[in-house]
Structure 1
Amino acid sequence: MNKELRISYKVIEANDLDETEKKLFDAAKKAREDAYAPYSNFLVGCALLLESGEIIKGSNQENAAYPSGLCAERTTIYWASANYPNAKIKKLFVLGAPRDVIEYPPTPPCGACRQSMLEYEAKQEEKIEIYIASLGGAIYKVDSIRSLLPFSFDQSFL
């Protein structure tokens, strides 16, 4: 028996974002510019919105020993959790592209970042809106990381 999974997402243009979403986009863009990516030259910025209205940003941090680096999404989420352990995350923007490239498709989070986002959705018992942005084009929005991580692994398997 074959079955099919479908992912529902919304395509948004930057000029259609509301004020809060524009602030998150700008924060992710700024964070991207601050990325430390001397090996891949692939810069990723992330910005998240806490329930308090505070915006937290982070960027990818590479290392010559590649597995020692950390993606922008996890850098941002872990910093937010370490400094605001009980705050809920409402929205998360991620924006990635090679250095000096403007026209690039929205780049989705890697599997490890998706798994980390899933952990924080479970922890807060509330969905996190995920926005996957590009510098000069479309932005994809999903209502929950579960949309990007079907058949997910969570604490129920432990």
Structure 2
Amino acid sequence: MKIKKIETQFEVYDDVNELPKDVSELMAEAVKARLRAYAPYSKFLVGAAILLDNGEIITGNNQENAAYPSGLCAERTAIYYAGSQYPEAKIIRMALIAGSVKNKTTMPIPPCGACRQAISEYEINQDLPIDIYFMGESGEVMRSKSLSNLLPLVFEKSVL
């Protein structure tokens, strides 16, 4: 038997005011997208903003459905739109903000497992790390320099 140790590393900013200007502007787009989320069941609103290498900014938010698994997360809403409308563009950076309508969310909220897997497909295909910033409604912002940092043992096409 062997032991395999996997470590991840994140940058942590005290709040959005500490972010570089271009990142805080992208996060502001995620904040706007979050306000348009459709989450009548969970009351948990998520906004995403993606910067593409062609300069386009794509936003998305979570869209729920009474048939609960039929909804879609903000990250996948944005990334799939980017992939369908700009198939040749590479994703440079993502900004994510999430929080409950019921309780104030001050801890950084990373992408869920399904979104991590979807983002990994794009990161692997474009052969370029995706810079991911995520936060709650306020407070600290975390940065992962690559999706592989959030999902180190990724399931990908080479195993198929």
What TM-score bracket applies, with the shorter chain setting the length? over 0.9
**What's the TM-score, normalizing by structure 2?**
0.94
Task: Measure how far apart 1:34 and its partner are.
Answer: 0.4
The correspondence of residues 64-143 of structure 1 with structure 2, limited to 5 A, is: 64-99=66-101, 101-143=103-145
In structure 2, how many angstroms separate the alpha carbons of the residues matched to 1:53 and 1:18? Answer: 17
CA contact (8 A) 2:8 2:149 kept: yes
Identity within the alignment, %: 47
In structure 1, how many angstroms separate the alpha carbons of the residues matched to 2:105 and 2:150? Answer: 23
In structure 1, how many angstroms separate the alpha carbons of the residues matched to 2:108 and 2:19? Answer: 16
In structure 2, how many angstroms separate the alpha carbons of the residues matched to 1:104 and 1:18? Answer: 20
Residue equivalent to 2:8: 7
Question: Aligned to 2:7, what secondary structure does the other structure show?
Answer: coil
Question: Aligned to 1:5, what secondary structure does the other structure show?
Answer: coil
Selected match of 2:43 from 14, 38, 41: 41
The one-letter amino acid paired with 1:10 is: E
Aligned length in residues: 158
Question: Aligned to 1:117, what secondary structure does the other structure show?
Answer: helix
Task: Measure how far apart 1:6 and its partner are.
Answer: 1.3
Residue equivalent to 1:146: 148
The one-letter amino acid paired with 1:120 is: Y
The one-letter amino acid paired with 2:12 is: V
The one-letter amino acid paired with 1:146 is: S
CA contact (8 A) 2:93 2:132 kept: yes
Residue equivalent to 2:59: 57
Q: 1:129 to 1:23 in 2, by over 3 A?
A: same
Q: Which range moves more in the overlay, 97-106 or 129-138?
A: 97-106
Task: Measure how far apart 1:149 and its partner are.
Answer: 0.6
Question: Aligned to 2:24, what secondary structure does the other structure show?
Answer: helix
Task: Measure how far apart 1:150 and its partner are.
Answer: 1.5
Runs of 5+ unmatched residues, structure 1: none
**What's the TM-score, normalizing by structure 1?**
0.95
